[in-house]
Chain A
Amino acid sequence: MPVPSRIFTTAIRNGEIRKLGTCIFHSHNRNLCCSLPPHSLKTLHALLKTASPMTLGSGRSIKDNPLWYIKTQSYRTTSQQYYNLTPPQVNSILKANEYRFKVPEFDGKNVSSILGFDSSQLPANAPIEDRRSVATCLQTRGMLFGVFDGHAGCACAQAVSERLFYYIAVSLLPHETLLEIENAVENGRAILPILQWHKHPNDYFSKEASKLYFNSLRTYWQELIDLNTGEHPDTQEALINAFKRLDNDISLEAQVGDPNSFLNYWVLRVAFSGATACVAHIDGADIQVANTGDGRAVLGVQEEDGSWTAVTLSNDHNAQNEDEIKRIRSQHPKNEEKTVVKQDRLLGLLMPFRAFGDVKFKWSIELQKMVLESGPDQLNENEHTKFIPPNYHTPPYLTAKPEVIHHSLRPQDKFLVLGTDGLWETMHRQEVVRVVGEYLTGVHLQQPISVGGYKVTLGQMQGLLMERRARISSVFEDQNAATHLIRHAVGNNEFGVVDHERLCKMLSLPEELARMYRDDITIIVVQFNSHVIGAQSKPGGGD
């Protein structure tokens, strides 16, 4: 298959259509249109000259799908100008959201099994609907990493990215610490810091909602205090509880509303939009991945021969997962068996089978109507919020409950890649692990040359060295493993090598078209300290 056509179909399959069902909840102020405007189709042709009309036609149902829409405001057709990106321009786009953090090997109390992490983001939606969070737990041990993929707007992903780690951290706190914190709040004293965030300057927290969020969180820990079991919280349980509790709070806040009209509208937007979450809690050699939706966590394992193997630490919650289909069908009456999962979507609409928010799939019809009626006008102006999914008989159809997988790190586990589906749709996990592994170790992996007793001329040696240099230089373009991965995800040709021209085209797509060819991509690469893990995993060395 010619390369560009493959991009196209991939983009269609992976990108727009899979989220069509959820798009209906997209925030109000965007222009909707029910079919692709003809001129933009033409532009597609122009962009991908070799893509045949046949291929376009086979991109099922672009025109037929009544729910198809793209944003059309400020649309321009001067596509040539996007072609000529110079390598520095490409780099500045790719690196705009990259962030790198190095963890001190010894912080005075504990040695860290984590060397550091690289994270990066490439938007396709405007604004981007993905979010990411990384934080160190200050009152317990370990670090939290998470990627969040929003749909129908970014509100839910934003809220989850700000709040989820607090819920997890609180769930992990021992009883005494919870009491201490509650006393501090009660008496107006300074609270112990719970999390230390590692944020890129573009990662923001909303100021307006912080009080509301805090109150909900406080109610949660007060309940935890009352529930005191006397046992130290189990991490797996803590993760599940935190996920469920946060989703519950999101739902409740939307039902209760808020006197402040901005906040009132905000909590509704959060509840009516949705987000998947893939979160890893890493403490020493223990790693727990809690996943809700179709984000994924993959471990990079280096075999003894130096090659790389991918070990997946999460299950996708979508139609490709038989167990998920079974789970959903089992939760609803037999007569819904055909409608509950239709065209690989939940109720024929939603691609991920688990998510935060998305109350359209959780609340009863009565509740939805009631909330909408009492809600602000902006909400009602949007036709699609009123839309009730077809065959909606026995809600809830959707849950935020995560699946948690535990893994004990071994010295050969070198890194963990957390990514939103934008990454996994374009690259196979094996390829992802290979690219990151070679990036992280590539330079060192090149065996030093030794002449030994062989006959080598100066000219031969120079040729060899120049070749090695050329190989290294492409790796050196990126200082961030996550950015490097995005470069591959977007620019790889059929040989798994970055093709600059292709990269240029993909990055120079106008805002309006970008979403058709690629999804938002968010990646966190966590690097492990094999020495520390080796020492901890020795018999008797760990727990």
Chain B
Amino acid sequence: MRGCVRNSKALAPTMFPRLLFDRWGSLLGRRGLASAGEPHPTPLPSQARVVICGGGIVGSSVAYHLAKLGWKDVVLLEQGRLGAGTTRLCAGIVSTAKHIPIESKMADYSNTLYLQLEQETGVKTGYVKTGSLCLAQNQDRFISLKRLASRLKVLGIRCDVITPKQVAELHPLVNIHDLVGAVHVPGDAVVSPPDVNHALVVAAAKNGVQIHEHTSVNHVMVQKGHVTGVETDRGTIDCDYFVNCAGQWAYELGLSTEDPVSVPVHACEHFYLLTKPLEQPLQPHTPVVMDLDGRIYVRAWQGGVLSGGFEKNPKPIFTEGRSQLEIQGMQEDWDHFEPMLSALLRRMPSLDSCEIHQLINWPESFTPDMRCIMGETQTVHGYFVLGGMNSSGLSFAGGGGRYLAEWMTYGYPSENVWPLDVKRFGTLQSSRTFLRHRVMEVMPLLYELKVPRWDFQTGRQLRTSPLYDRLDTQGARWMEKHGFERAKYFVPSGKDLLALDQSKTFYKPDWFDIVGAEVKCCKEAVCVVDMSSFTKFELSSSGDQALELLQRLCANDLDVPVGHIVHTGMLNQRGGYENDCSVVRLSKNRFFIISPSDQQVHCWSWIKQHMPSDSQLQLEDVTWKYTALNVIGPRAMDVLSELSYVPLTPDHFPSLFCKEMSVGYANGIRVMSMTHTGEPGFMLYIPIEYALHVYNEVMSVGQKYGIRNSGYYALRSLRIEKFFAFWGQDLDAFTTPLECGREFRVKFDKGTEFIGREALLQQRQVGVRRRFIMFLLEDHNTELDLWPWWGEPIYRNEEPVGVTSSSAYSYTLERHVCLGFVKPPQTDPGAPTVVTADFINRGEYEVEIGGHRYPAKAKLYPFSSLFAQQRRRKDDMELSSFQGK
């Protein structure tokens, strides 16, 4: 771990483009690349192991890494010429200042790869280590940059928080009078993307990859849910794997299959300006400037500058799908570029007299959540995707290609890439209208200041609970998860709504008291939370096939009496969580599986993958059939028993039990004695047509118990103070139950060899190398200090040992609670690699927020005092928690 200078801080969440550096100084008319001098010189092979579609930098990187990992029989197809699409015109900036850590890691790897590529292949790549500067024009931006710097440092990427004056020393043209600070990443670089592309192809070809230009993929053939080959305009190739790296055509290519594959990408026009050389030519090693508040980036280009940006009003294109040829016809649009030109001249006033060389317009593809798309699709086995680079293709291509090659080789990459996994999307994100509207929001968002818990504004109200309108009129403020609207909190009438909706801060948010009141009500009276977004499956069979399957998939023992609820992980071979769910045994051979909202596609695919093809065994997605209401709080019992005339005291209805009963007039409601926060209460799974009735009944009966609506922010605070981990945020495919204190949910001796058992047994023997810890911030002023949100570095005895995965203010403990994994630093070869209770307890901990470190107390176990009452069954203490951020 290097360069953690005391005052050095960090960068901002942003994404960056790249540049074209052409040996002949011309942007157009570049000749095709080597392997196919003449069109179609070599016939296509009739079969191959892997066919990669797309000869841009992404496809080339996948080919390169597959060859490196020893794959033979890899064929790369390109409809035009190699590197002639977006790659040809991209700006050539390799930047590690990205929104989420996995993206920074990918960019960091790409940087290392491109650096050595020239040596490896002998092809000049135009690599220049320029460094990059992210500028802040205001304090909020500066905070976000400092938070970025903290994150990069933990990843081992050097990065310094600097003053405006230092910016002026690093860059001769930057006007600093309106800057409050900046972040300098010295390791960032610029390259010539077509040359990097060429080098990757040359290296891949050397390792046996066959490359065919002017070959279009028309159709991907599938049999029994598995790729069997591709039809091209030059013949058919049989293959086992297909990789869709078709860039902005990936969506359409995905549809050219028997079982259409959903690749939610949509292109927007992107503009950048090239100038002629300055009078005093700009040196090639001048740092790249990212003026985020001005929405522009600037790099040196042939003595002049290259500058583009991410405007507020992007122009989406190819919504209806077009041909490759149309890219040639894309027009310069100076009127559209005006705001970016003005921003450039404001940042670098001396460019005023500089002459224009050209305004370039080319398409970039964007995704619904601003993150790229990677992995095997859920509909077709052997069909892999890498794309949707959100105009950071060059920065991500190296790392993305590597992860995808690892994925194809080992079944999963060496890092947790769930945030990028194609399975985070379903067909619900495939509507062209949705994509068109969403990418118009995503593109400007790349450079926009993002405060904690921002939400997308477009493409909303797609999936809603039947209670949506009801809750909305009662002041609900909404966030979206997997297309589903969920209430964050309820604004009491009389509050200034406008001010609340506009508040954006890294400090104490305006909803603090609102959520506090909801938490109090959950603790002291009773609240109702609509949790309908949960993924709900039913698994049933004629015999005991369903039980057998679940026993193999789940670490916990599912062979429980009918009516029992079991919290369990579904683990992979490494013992890591593929899913964390609650399973209800409805009858002997029928199970109800409740998973987090964004597991809808992933969990389905995981179960299907391990399900024997047996017509007697059926899996059904019943998410849409049920509205889920969480009645939470000490008086929940009173409310429900009034509505059902059934005693609901713990004696009659022990915890983690499920009964079908009537609530009000409605019969057949699945009432479960569990909550996802550890408070006493019930989950009601209500067939949707009864939802409004049950809700109304609960609210009217609950009135005398002080019932009110509550949202996810309150739940989040409640679950974090109880040290509950959440899949997708705290738990991932690289985390085992032993690492997060959930050994009691693993039944090694249940008599079935469940997936991951071997790995867990071994881990139990050796000990865990990382441990999920709860931190209580000390000396932190909730009113005045920056709040922790997530991703803050954790220091133990001055050494970085991890980052927080989630955090919240605990209204009960009256302080901030952060959750995160701690791993002993590997700087010292003699240091222990296994985390013991002793190791945890003997450390002095600090959490770094925006460059400032706050002392923190580490705890391995939750406060038992927080668990109010009625502990009936042993594992009541550790209830699963699904609620999102």
Contacts and interface: CB of A to CB of B under 8 A. Distances in A.
A and B: interacting chains? yes
Contacts of B377: none
Nearest to A450: B332
B352 A466 contact: no
24 contacts: A446-B335, A448-B335, A451-B359, A455-B355, A456-B356, A457-B352, A457-B355, A457-B356, A458-B273, A458-B341, A458-B352, A458-B354, A459-B345, A459-B352, A461-B334, A461-B356, A462-B338, A462-B342, A462-B345, A462-B352, A465-B334, A465-B335, A466-B338, A469-B335
Interface string A449-490: 111000111110110011011000000000000000000000
Interface string B419-453: 00000000000000000000000000000000000
Contacts of A461: 334, 341, 356
Given A458-B345, A459-B345, A465 B353 contact: no
Contact of B344 (A448, A456, A458, A469): A458
B176 interface: no
Nearest to A459: B352
Contacts of A448: 331-335
Given A451-B358, A466-B338, 11 more contacts: A448-B335, A451-B356, A458-B345, A458-B356, A459-B352, A459-B353, A462-B338, A465-B335, A465-B337, A465-B338, A469-B338
A459 B351 CA distance: 8
A458 B332 contact: no
B275 interface: yes
Contacts of B275: 458
Contacts of A466: 338, 342
Given A458-B345, A462-B345, A449 B352 contact: no
A406 B575 CA distance: 84
B217 to A, nearest CB: 35
A462 B355 contact: no
Contacts of B335: 446, 448-449, 465, 468-469
Nearest to A463: B352
A446 B333 CA distance: 12
Interface in B355-376: 355-356, 358-359
Interface of B: 273, 275, 331-335, 337-338, 341-342, 344-345, 351-356, 358-359
Interface string A515-534: 00000000000000000000
A466 B355 CA distance: 18
Contacts of B356: 451, 456-458, 461
Nearest to A469: B338
A446 B345 CA distance: 24
Contacts of B351: 458
Nearest to B333: A448
Nearest to A454: B356
B357 to A, nearest CB: 8
B356 to A, nearest CB: 5
B354 A457 contact: yes
A83 B342 CA distance: 37
Nearest to B359: A451
A452 to B, nearest CB: 10
A524 B845 CA distance: 74
A147 B592 CA distance: 66
Contacts of A449: 334-335
A457 B344 CA distance: 13
Contacts of A446: 335
A383 B337 CA distance: 69
A465 B356 CA distance: 14
Nearest to B349: A459
A450 B354 CA distance: 17
Contacts of B331: 448
B863 to A, nearest CB: 55
A234 to B, nearest CB: 44
Contacts of B344: 458
A458 B335 CA distance: 13
A457 B341 contact: no
A87 B200 CA distance: 59
Nearest to A465: B338
Contacts of A462: 338, 341-342, 345, 352
Give 9 nearest A-B pairs by CB, closest first: A459-B352, A465-B338, A449-B334, A456-B356, A457-B353, A458-B351, A451-B356, A462-B341, A458-B354
A466 B344 CA distance: 14
A166 to B, nearest CB: 40
Contacts of B352: 457-459, 462
A457 B354 CA distance: 5
Contacts of B359: 451
Contact of A456 (B337, B338, B345, B355): B355
Nearest to B352: A459
A446 to B, nearest CB: 8
B298 to A, nearest CB: 12
B210 to A, nearest CB: 42
Nearest to B331: A448
A466 B337 CA distance: 11
A458 B273 CA distance: 10
Contacts of B354: 457-458
Nearest to A472: B335
Nearest to B332: A450
B673 to A, nearest CB: 54
A292 B359 CA distance: 57
B336 to A, nearest CB: 10
A64 to B, nearest CB: 58
A461 B273 CA distance: 12
